[in-house]
Amino acid sequence: MTDQRPSSEGHERIEAQMERLVATDTDVLEVEPAATAIPVAARSSARTIVNRFVRHRAAMGGLVALVLIVLLVFSSIGIGPIPGWWPLDYRVPQAILNGGKPTLQLWPFSLGAHPFGQDNIGRDYFALVMAGAQQSIIIAFLVGVIGSAIGTVIGALAGYFRGWTESVLMRITDVIITIPLVAIAAVVAKGANGRGGVWLLGLFLGFVTWTGLARIVRGEFLSLREKEFVDAARSVGVPSGRIIFRHILPNTIGVIIVSATLAMSSAILLESALSFLGFGVQPPNTSLGQLINNYRSAMGPRPWLFWWPGLFIVAIALAVNFIGDGLRDAFDPRQNRQKA
């Protein structure tokens, strides 16, 4: 009963209308082919998208911020066995200096001995936050990629084949959507923690976060499969697999990239919420959410133990969200910015 959605058609019509109103059609009494035989440097659609993205100030700001954060997080304490430029180990307690207060100074800039302070047993909090952020970023990335991949495949199959395939897949999706994400993720994460580390957690969380994208991709497929270029392909006998992956999927790539980006930002939040509830990353591993949970009781005397990981979560999620918004505008210029 909810197949009447006037809005998206409306968009297209308005767009077409605007094009008609604004464009001066070159087709009126067509130019003779010979006149245009000189190859014209075509503005490919990829470049248009990049241009639009670059013009989106908030998105570019988000991108720069994210790159800086990732560089900082991975270069400071190193990746795995590769050492970083920060000398202190996050596992080793040090002598507590000045009550463990942060020594970071913005003007004149100096890091000091413990820029983010120390925790109650003297461990360097900067190193701890960096380690936690590494894990959080890895999990978010995994969840985003896996969830998007599953969602894309399920949505594509349901949207293209319709019939019972669609019914079954979409009923499964409906069922999962009725369950609060945090709750189902907590159950799954609890299961993952009994068996392995951070990577398994990311993988398992990916298995429960695909529903939104599956619905979106299905919607895209439902409308695209009715387009005449798909009929054209079918009329010459292009096989289904090739139609799905070569003809339809490339046309949904914008939606998928945007959703994957936004899925990563919500994955950061999801991971931190789970770790906070005690179902996420388990010691000896650490993550931003787990840091906040660990030091919740110490918040009164040492507020920085609460602030730093929180700020990192917000900064990463905000940056990714802005990137997602910029990508959406770049891929889907229907709501293009026209200042009156």
Partner 1 sequence: MLVFVARRLVVSFFIVLASTALMYVLVALSGNPLQRLLEYNGPGRAERIAARTRALNLDVPVPGRYVLWLQDVGRCIVPGGDDCTMGLDAQSRPVLPQLQSAIGSTLRLVIAATVLALLLGVITGIVTALRQYSTFDYGVTLIAFLCFSLPLFWVSTLLKQYVAIDLNSWLANPEMTYAALLGVALIAGLIWAVVIGGERRTRLIVFGVSAVATFTTLFVLLTTNWFRRPTMGLLGILLIGLVMAFLWAALFAGLRPRTRRVLYSALAAAAAGTVVVALAGPLMRSMTWWSFIAVSLVIIGVGVAAGLVGGGHVKRLAAQIGGLVGVTVVVLMAIDQMLGAYPYVYRRTGGRPIPTTGSETPNLDGNFWQTNLDLALHLLLPTLAIMLISFASYTRYTRASMLDVLNQDYVRTARAKGLNERTVIVRHSFRNALIPLATLVAFDFAGVLGGAVVTETVFGWSGMGLMFQRGLTNVDPNPVMAFFLVTAVATVVFNMIADIAYAYLDPRIRLS
Partner 2 sequence: MTSTTDATPPAGWEDQYVEPILEVTGLGVDFRVDGEWVMASEGVDLRIRPGEVLALVGESGSGKSVSSMAILGLLPGNARVTGSAKLRGKELIGIPKPQLRAVRGNDIGLIFQEPMTALNPVLTVGFQVAEIILSHQNVTPQEARDRVVELFRLVDLPNPEAKVDAYPHQLSGGQRQRVMIAMAIACDPVLLIADEPTTALDVTVQAEILDLLRDLHRRLDSAILLITHDMGVVADLADDVVVMRDGHVVERGPIRQLFSQPQQEYTRDLLAAVPHLGADIAAGALSVQDRPTEDEVVTGAPDGGPTPALELEHVSIEYPGRGRTPAFRAVDDVSLAIAPGEVVGLVGESGSGKTTVGRAVVSLLPVAEGAIRVGGTNLAGLSRRELLPLRRRSAIVFQDPGSSLNPRMTIGESIGEPLFLHEKLRKEALNRRVEALLDQVKLPHAYRNRYPHELSGGQRQRVGIARALSLRPQLLVADEPTSALDVSVQAHVLELFQELQREQGFACLFISHDLAVVEILSSRIAVMRNGRLVEQGSREDVLLNPQDPYTRRLIAAAPVPDPDEQGARRAERARVLAAGAGDKD
CA–CA gap between residue 133 and residue 140 (Å, rounded) = 10
Span between the terminal Cα atoms of the chain, in Å: 39
Under rule CB under 8 A, residue 20 binds partner 1? no
Under rule CB under 8 A, residue 209 binds partner 1? no
Cβ-proximal residues to 100 (8 Å cutoff; 6+ apart), any chain: 114, 117, 118, 119, 120, 122, 125, 302
Yes or no: say if 62 and 328 are a contact pair by the CB < 8 Å rule: no
The binder of partner 2 chosen from 180, 236, 241, 283 (CB under 8 A): 236
What are the structure tokens assigned to 318, written together?
């905000």
Question: Which residue, among 69, 127, 93, 113, has the nearest Cα to 317 in the 3D structure?
Answer: 69
- Of 38 and 121, the one with the shorter C-beta distance to partner 2 is 38
What part of residues 3-32 is at the interface with partner 2 (CB under 8 A)?
Answer: 6, 10, 13, 16, 18, 20-30
Total number of residues that touch partner 1 (CB under 8 A): 54
CA–CA gap between residue 121 and residue 96 (Å, rounded) = 8
Under rule CB under 8 A, residue 196 binds partner 1? no
Yes or no: say if 270 and 181 are a contact pair by the CB < 8 Å rule: yes
Under rule CB under 8 A, residue 65 binds partner 2? no
What part of residues 249-268 is at the interface with partner 2 (CB under 8 A)?
Answer: 250-251, 253
What are the structure tokens assigned to 85, written together?
């430029």
By CB under 8 A, name the binding residues for partner 1: 1-2, 4-7, 10-11, 13-14, 171, 174-184, 186-188, 190-191, 194, 265, 269, 272-273, 276-279, 289, 292, 296, 299-300, 306, 310, 313-314, 317-318, 321-322, 325, 335, 337, 339-340
By CB under 8 A, name the binding residues for partner 2: 6, 10, 13, 16, 18, 20-30, 33-34, 36-40, 42-45, 227-229, 231-238, 247, 250-251, 253, 338-340
